Chains A and B, each alone.
Chain A
Amino acid sequence: MNAQDVSKARAVLKKPSTSAPNIPRIMKQGKLTPWLYLLPALVLMSFFIVYPMITTIGLSFSNKDGTASAATTCRPDQTCWGVFENYHYALTSEFDFSSPGAFWTSFWKSSYGNNITWMILMTAGTVGIGLAFAVLADRVKYEALSKAIIFMPMAISFVGAGIIWKFVYDFGTQNVQIGLLNALVTAFGGDPVAWLSRPGINTFLLIVVGVWIWTGFCMTILAAALKSVPDEILEAARVDGATEWVTFWRITVPIIMPTILVVVTTMVINVLKLFDIVYVMTGGNFGTNVIANRMYTEMYKNFNIGRGTAVAVVLVVAIIPFIYYNVRRFLAQEAIR
């Protein structure tokens, strides 16, 4: 998106509604009619999204049960952020500030560090594998079947996927391995590993589950974009002697770049909100916690409304850039409609 698109988008916003492009001039309507059609949706959305969002922000400045200011929860002998005390907790409690090295280590074990790992690896994994598979499957006869198989996990719940993979990662006894991964490891002469309770590696194994679920989504959207790349351009490049590799990186990828960006932002938002996989497979233990699970723990296990909502607000602040991007993209699309 460039500056021109943005100015076009602004023009759309300012356009007087009487000259809306796609509405027949002939139609008659009262002033009230549109609002009657909108009423149920607007009421429900205000009640279930807008109102709670505002209340959540308010509650994040309050104490454990929402009855007094968060400043009252400060301990006299410790640093206090006043009404921002819950944010003090949400942002710093997982870190070890004793030395830069300790901070670095504790950061990558915290829910924030884990969320960043998730964000980078899961987005790269889903988009990378999805794109590669879409490109390759395009060249074989069993394209539809293979795509359906990659896409299938989208229909399964995260809970179901969690069980499927927990079984793959199962740590049996020294004699019998009923988990596929440990069976493979022992077949090659290694020792079985309690995968999910080993810090450092368990987050990566949970990310594998996420990639397994979401690759189909990325693949489907990218495959549709690939099909829309005009054949003439690709043919022209090939006639000029470009290899498949060069054609892909210099022609196909730039053309589908807008779609790739959409998929990447969608995935980043999904990853930030991710809760179920961690909840079912490790419960956030063994250094696998993520922000969304932390919010659930504070709220419904520790029953601390102030802290739980503060974590939720941190989550939404992390998502705001992507909300902004989504709205801007929409306005740009409206401008060229």
Chain B
Amino acid sequence: MNRDRINKLLSQVPIHFIIIFTILVWIVPTFGLLITSLRPSQDINSTGWWTVFTSQKAGGPYAQYCAACHGADGKALPAADLTDPNVIAKYPRSLQLLALLRKDINGQPHMGDISLPSAQEAADIASSLKSGGVTTPRFTISNYVDALVGYRGTRTYAEDCRDHTQATDIHCDISDMLNPRGMGRAFLNSLLVTIPATILPILFAAFAGYAFAWLDFRGRYLLFALLVGLQVVPLQMTLVPISRLYAQMGLNGTFLGVWLFHTGFGLPYAIYLMRNFLGALPNDLFEAAYIDGASHWTVFYRLVLPLAMPAIASLGIFQFLWVWNDLLVALVFLGGTTPVMTYQISNMVTSLGAGWHLLTAAAFLSMLLPMIVFFSLQRYFVRGMLAGAVKG
């Protein structure tokens, strides 16, 4: 029945429309961030990121109005070298530049038969001349370099290093990757915080989950019910006493303090998940092992741990993302002494007022690893979430 098929197809159209619209709403903001992080900073602030797809004139107004005579690199006329800072300094704004363009040069109109640029275009030309690049490429990775090394100047890290005008805390060698203000150092710190803070709770949760699932002791249910309640205790409730205690013990600003805190806080959920997973393993398996004379430790080590691998994978992803993306704990216990990525970015927003070119690149750097983990191990992530939230 052809008509039925067409009708069915037509009835599907609104569904496709809604789904695709929702997907677009979800993906466009992130996509805009990615595009922006790859654009030169003067472009970011003069045009929206979506114009990279529509603008026909590569290089902007400069290419349109000036490149014909001055050349794409601005050096075609030796008498008027547009890369000479002394020449540029005379025309810092559109006003001076337009005045110059209206004047005659050697008895001829400056612009010949080309029309004058508008005020906005003249401003763009002036700002692109000032920033040293008459022809800026459409895309650049210099934002990422600047974010990684913690560059805070008005040009780019590469330009400053080329002209030896860098700030005192920049050395223009590989050691800049460890600049405390940069995202490179923060990336390393984030890794150093996250890896132990992921392994420790899983290990302890596997022990405790085994006890709750397969060992018999008084108060087993009561203790586990308590644990279910602890899962939703807000972090805020515990920060103050722990940071006071850490101050006395000298643990503030140390990795150990953060590892232990994340471990303690991740445990209720991790044990809950582990116990539910291990409790669902078949009874016969354990009976057979015990009849063969295996000790609890052997059973745990040789039987439980290998079988629990799917649960461990789920938990691992969860805890990894939780710790990696955490801001509050890092803010309170690590702060500026050992900045992690989230701290570094929030600092760029709140106090340093870094430009969009640095913020977008830094944000994308911090999202890189979680995205890779998420897309490669999505199956385990979803499974862990379902086990924790729906099944008991």
User: When chains A and B are docked, how far (Å) is the Cα of A312 from the Cα of B45?
Assistant: 41
Per-residue contact bits, chain A 39-56, to B (CB 8 Å; 1 contact, 0 not): 011101101111111011
User: Interface size on A (CB < 8 Å)?
Assistant: 113
The verdict on B374 contacting chain A, using a C-beta distance below 8 Å, is: yes
> Main SS of the interface on chain B?
helix
* CB within 8 Å of B: which A270-289 residues: 272-273, 275-276, 279-280, 283
Whether the Cβ atoms of B234 and A273 lie closer than 8 Å is yes
A22 and B211 CA atoms in complex are apart in Å by 12
User: Are the C-beta atoms of A41 and B204 separated by less than 8 Å?
Assistant: yes
Question: What 1/0 flags go to A3-34 for Cβ under 8 Å of B?
Answer: 00000000011010110101110111101011
Chain B count of residues within 8 A CB distance of the other chain: 109
- Residues A167 and B356 in contact, CB atoms below 8 Å apart: yes
Check A305/B240 contact, CB under 8 A, given A15-B221, A28-B290: yes
Tell whether B99 is near chain A: CB-to-CB under 8 Å. Answer: no
Indicate which residue in B261, B283, B342, B375 contacts A159 across the interface (CB closer than 8 Å): B342
Shortest Cβ distance from residue A28 to the other chain B in the assembled complex, whole angstroms: 7
Q: Is the CB of B287 within 8 A of A24?
A: yes
Give chain A's interface secondary structure class.
Answer: helix
> Would you call B22 and A133 a contact (CB within 8 A)?
yes
B248 interface residue per 8 A CB criterion: no
A262: chain B residues at CB < 8 Å are 389-390
Q: Are B370 and A221 in contact (CB under 8 A)?
A: no
CB distance from B205 to the nearest CB of A (A): 7
CB neighbours of A327 from chain B (8 A) = 225, 228-229
Q: Which of B217, B265, B350, B359 contacts A17 (CB 8 A)?
A: B217
The answer on a CB contact under 8 Å between A45 and B26 is: no
Q: Is B321 in the interface zone, CB < 8 Å from A?
A: yes
Asked if A164 and B45 sit within 8 Å, CB to CB, the answer is: no
Residue contact A220 to B234, C-beta cutoff 8 Å: no
Q: Which residues of B contact A34 (CB under 8 A)?
A: 211, 215-217
Contact B264 A220 (CB under 8 A): no
29 A/B residue pairs, CB under 8 Å, sorted by A? A17-B216, A22-B213, A27-B287, A37-B207, A37-B208, A48-B265, A49-B233, A49-B264, A52-B241, A52-B242, A133-B19, A136-B18, A139-B15, A150-B26, A155-B371, A157-B326, A159-B345, A160-B367, A168-B32, A175-B120, A217-B385, A276-B342, A279-B346, A283-B350, A312-B234, A316-B234, A319-B233, A326-B232, A330-B228
Q: Which residues of B contact A (CB under 8 A)?
A: 12, 15-16, 18-19, 22-23, 26-30, 32-33, 36, 44-50, 120, 204-205, 207-208, 210-222, 224-225, 227-242, 244, 260-261, 263-265, 267-268, 271, 279, 283, 286-287, 290-291, 296, 300, 321, 324-328, 331-332, 341-342, 345-346, 349-350, 356, 359-360, 362-364, 366-367, 370-371, 373-375, 378, 382, 385-386, 389-390, 392
| List of 9 A-B pairs having minimum Cβ-Cβ separation, nearest first | A48-B264, A333-B392, A157-B325, A155-B374, A52-B238, A55-B241, A37-B211, A41-B208, A34-B217
> In the complex, given contacts A24-B290, A45-B268, A183-B50, what are 9 additional A-B residue pairs having Cβ atoms less than 8 angstroms apart?
A15-B221, A34-B216, A49-B230, A170-B356, A180-B48, A217-B385, A221-B386, A312-B234, A327-B228
